[in-house]
Amino acid sequence: MAVNLIPGEFSAFTIAVAILSGFIVFFGYVSMFIKERMFLSEAFVAVIIGIIAGPLVTNGINPYAWENSDEITKQLTRCIIAIQVMAVGIELPKHYMKKDWLTMFMLLMPVMIFMWLVSGLIVWMFVPPITYLESLVIGACVCPTDPILANSVVKGRFAEKHVPSHIRNALSAESGANDGMGFPFLFLAIFLLGEDHVGKAIGKWIYETCLFQIALSCVIGVVVGYVARKMLQWSERHHLIDKPSFLSFAIALALFLMSMTGFSGSDDVLACFAAGNAFSWDDWFRKETEEAHFQDVIDMMLNLSIFVYIGAVIPWNEFHDPVLGLTWWRLVIIAILILIFRRLPIVLLLKPVMPAMKTYREALFSGWFGPMGVGALFLSKIAKEELEQVYPKVEGQEDAVPIRLINPIVLFIVLSSVLVHGTTIPLFQLGKRIRSRTLSFASTSSNPMIMKLPKFSARRHRSSPESTMTETQRNTLYNTAHRQQQQLQQQQQQQQQAGGDSATSGETMISSHNNYMDYTINMPSSNASDIPEEEFLPSDEPPILHPMEPSNIRFVEPVKPRSSTGATSEMHDAADLGPEHLQQSSSSPADSRRSSQHKRHMFRGRSKKPIHDEEASMQLRQPDTSSSASTASASSSSTTHAQPH
């Protein structure tokens, strides 16, 4: 009997899955290097891969060859945004929207209105076939900031080092909320185009969009998030839910809420963000899941997939269409002007009334990083559907000009935002390195007398009172104390074996103790790669710079124990407490109390708070006047006894 082999399948679906999965696998090999060393966002890399895999290069993924490609794009972006804004709402700090409500109000109302009007004005200026009202439809699509692209400046090593936490929280909250707040601006322009009377259009916009879509979605989201949190806490308290279900709860809740609000016609994106805030209002769920990273894994896979899809769906052949008034140079100018003037001026202007913006540098940073991505593509598909009802298609003719212009303009702006915002941080880091190297070369080669000066490290960092002791210093101190303890014990045993009296033994231990306490330790310099880079958002205080060079730190133990037994017990305490504690109790009562308080403080510091370099150095350098005086008196008395009568 003949055996028929299963034929190979080279369908569009299998090819697309192979490209997506292969990219995720190979990106994982170098993801740390790309994101933490090169500071490139994962969205930037995914878009480049999508362009290569798309119709422009290899044609491995061609969404335009699929049936209902616009509907597929709409639903994919809708699911991704729902999950992302839910994650943003959960990751915000406790009661954040209540504490920083003024900043959020300014970012969601005046800033978004300005972005909408300016974006529409720029499009209208360079695309002649459409009116300003039609250009406002396109401007509404590029109003929201993308939460996925915003992760490049709110997460990762660069954000943790250079971006303050209040700026990261403000940008995250804004990117989650204004994806849903783009609907009022979009439908206001559409209603004004579709209705004959302005009053009727405004009234329809108020009760359909503002009340039904926006207000109702917020109420639904808050109620669902609150009820879900209480039920989950009850289930977890009674041990009814297992760990996998607990970790995947937020993603399932986002998809469930998106579907339920979609049935009613409300704003599902805004409902998911409100539900995320209510669900993690007390920070309970975030603290329970912050070590699992399950949601981060799912987000990473979805984000890479959607931006590969965006790279493949870019309509390159529509970027140059003289009939529509589109040329490459017009699109480039539109993208540049929108990136500069869409958001930056209004954020700088409103900085005094936004508490989260402490300085104008922070306002400049926040005004620049307003990337556009998945949310803009999602709104463009909704705008295209609504405009098809305003401008019905005539049989045998193409769609109206505004409908045909939405896709290429929005996608070109999204592409520009991904490329520019995705490379801003790497270019900043590269420029800073080149500037520092050029300055170092010029300063050392311009003056021959510079060779006579001491050599300092090229790297400098900001001196901070919170800088802690390195592990090398701690180990060195601990080993030194342990070695001293062993030597003192050996000397004590030798004295006891020799039959010496206790006073002689105590004097010998004191002298040997003083000999071993006066030493010098050469601390190695820190690794150049561990030195933090220059802050992108420096504080208002003037920086205090000092060279990172190996320094000689002299540790002095001037304390004189009262007896041999006391000295031995105190050295045992020093060894037990570890390298943080090297001082012994002094002879005076005041010094004893100070030493006792110091012991308790340093013991608590081992488990709770690290010891600072400057503080430890000051403690180890302080001379003990009582010990010096006692030593001087002992030496003088011995000299007196040695003189002949």
Give the range among 231-235, 364-368, 571-575 with minimum mean pLDDT: 571-575
The whole-number pLDDT of residue 447 equals: 44
Q: For residue range 186-211, what is the model confidence (pLDDT) as tens digits?
A: 999 999 998 888 999 999 999 999 99
The whole-number pLDDT of residue 384 equals: 93
| Residue 493: how many other CB atoms lie within 10 Å | 10
**C-alpha span between 464 and 522 (Å, rounded):** 21
Q: Residue 587's pLDDT band (boundaries 50, 70, 90)?
A: very low
Going by C-beta distance under 8 Å and a sequence separation of 6 or more, which residues neighbour residue 428? 536
User: Which amino acid is located at 427 in the chain?
Assistant: L
Identify the top-confidence range among 15-19, 378-382, 618-622.
378-382
The whole-number pLDDT of residue 601 equals: 45
For tokens 């339920």, name the residue: 260
**C-alpha span between 524 and 549 (Å, rounded):** 8
Across residues 344-367, what is the average pLDDT?
A: 92
Across residues 292-308, what is the average pLDDT?
A: 83
Is the pLDDT at 43 greater than 50? The verdict is yes
Q: What's the mean per-residue pLDDT of the chain?
A: 75
Is the pLDDT at 54 greater than 50? The verdict is yes
The whole-number pLDDT of residue 424 equals: 80
The whole-number pLDDT of residue 570 equals: 45
**C-alpha span between 583 and 578 (Å, rounded):** 12
For residues 145 and 175, is the Cβ–Cβ distance under 8 A? yes
- First-to-final CA distance of the chain: 127
The whole-number pLDDT of residue 333 equals: 96
Nearest Cα neighbor of 103 from 272, 269, 352 is 352
Q: Residue 521's pLDDT band (boundaries 50, 70, 90)?
A: very low
**Two structure tokens written together for 310:** 């965006």
**In the 8-state DSSP scheme, what is residue 446?**
S
Is the pLDDT at 400 greater than 80? The verdict is yes
For residues 50 and 310, is the Cβ–Cβ distance under 8 A? yes
Across residues 543-565, what is the average pLDDT?
A: 44
Give the range among 95-109, 129-143, 460-474, 516-530 with minimum mean pLDDT: 516-530
Q: Residue 431's pLDDT band (boundaries 50, 70, 90)?
A: low
User: Which amino acid is located at 423 in the chain?
Assistant: T
**C-alpha span between 214 and 182 (Å, rounded):** 10
Residue 236 parent element (H or E) = helix 216-237
DSSP bridge pairs for 521: 553
Is the pLDDT at 556 greater than 90? The verdict is no
Residue 546 parent element (H or E) = strand 545-547
Share of the chain above pLDDT 90, in %: 37
The whole-number pLDDT of residue 572 equals: 45
The whole-number pLDDT of residue 429 equals: 66
**C-alpha span between 231 and 237 (Å, rounded):** 10
Is the pLDDT at 12 greater than 50? The verdict is yes
Q: Which domains does the chain have, with CATH numbers?
A: 12-88+101-192+293-435 (1.20.1530), 476-524+549-607 (no CATH)
The whole-number pLDDT of residue 128 equals: 86
The whole-number pLDDT of residue 325 equals: 83
Going by C-beta distance under 8 Å and a sequence separation of 6 or more, which residues neighbour residue 527? none
The whole-number pLDDT of residue 433 equals: 57
**Two structure tokens written together for 19:** 């490209």
Is the pLDDT at 68 greater than 60? The verdict is yes
Give the range among 146-150, 202-206, 220-224, 460-464 with minimum mean pLDDT: 460-464
Q: Which residue has the higher pLDDT, 447 or 46?
A: 46
Is the pLDDT at 31 greater than 70? The verdict is yes
For residues 433 and 58, is the Cβ–Cβ distance under 8 A? no
Is the pLDDT at 513 greater than 70? The verdict is no
For residues 23 and 42, is the Cβ–Cβ distance under 8 A? no
- Which contacts of 4-12 are long-range, i.e. CB under 8 A and separated by 24 or more positions? 12/61, 12/62, 12/65, 12/66
**In the 8-state DSSP scheme, what is residue 465?**
T
Going by C-beta distance under 8 Å and a sequence separation of 6 or more, which residues neighbour residue 236? 246
pTM over 0.95: no
Going by C-beta distance under 8 Å and a sequence separation of 6 or more, which residues neighbour residue 54? 60, 61, 62, 311, 312, 313, 314
Is the pLDDT at 597 greater than 80? The verdict is no
∠ CA(447), CA(526), CA(151), 5° rounding? Answer: 100
**C-alpha span between 23 and 17 (Å, rounded):** 10
**In the 8-state DSSP scheme, what is residue 251?**
H
Q: How far is CA 329 from CA 51, 126, 322, 325, 404, in A?
A: 20, 10, 12, 11, 19
CA 250 centroid distance within chain: 21
Where are the alpha helices (H) located in 35-95, listed in sequence order? 42-53, 69-91
**Two structure tokens written together for 533:** 């880079």
**C-alpha span between 595 and 601 (Å, rounded):** 10
The whole-number pLDDT of residue 588 equals: 47
Share of the chain above pLDDT 70, in %: 68
Going by C-beta distance under 8 Å and a sequence separation of 6 or more, which residues neighbour residue 555? 477, 480, 517, 519, 520, 521, 582, 620, 621
Q: Which residue has the higher pLDDT, 616 or 162?
A: 162
**Two structure tokens written together for 327:** 């040329």
Q: Report the residue count for the chain.
A: 645
SS3 annotation, 359-379? CHHHHHHHHHCCCCCHHHHHH
Beta strand pairing call for 460-462 and 551-555 = unpaired
3-class SS at 523?
A: strand
Give the range among 18-27, 273-282, 469-478 with minimum mean pLDDT: 469-478
Give the range among 59-68, 199-208, 558-567 with minimum mean pLDDT: 558-567
**C-alpha span between 220 and 211 (Å, rounded):** 12
Across residues 331-360, what is the average pLDDT?
A: 94
Phi, psi (5° rounding) for residue 553? Answer: -105, 120
Identify the top-confidence range among 64-68, 89-93, 223-227, 487-491.
223-227
Q: For residue range 168-185, what is the model confidence (pLDDT) as tens digits?
A: 899 999 988 988 888 999
Give the range among 109-113, 161-165, 206-210 with minimum mean pLDDT: 161-165
**C-alpha span between 322 and 320 (Å, rounded):** 6
**C-alpha span between 254 and 272 (Å, rounded):** 6
Going by C-beta distance under 8 Å and a sequence separation of 6 or more, which residues neighbour residue 306? 46, 76, 77, 80, 148, 374
**C-alpha span between 524 and 163 (Å, rounded):** 30
Phi, psi (5° rounding) for residue 186? Answer: -65, -45
Beta strand pairing call for 545-547 and 460-462 = antiparallel
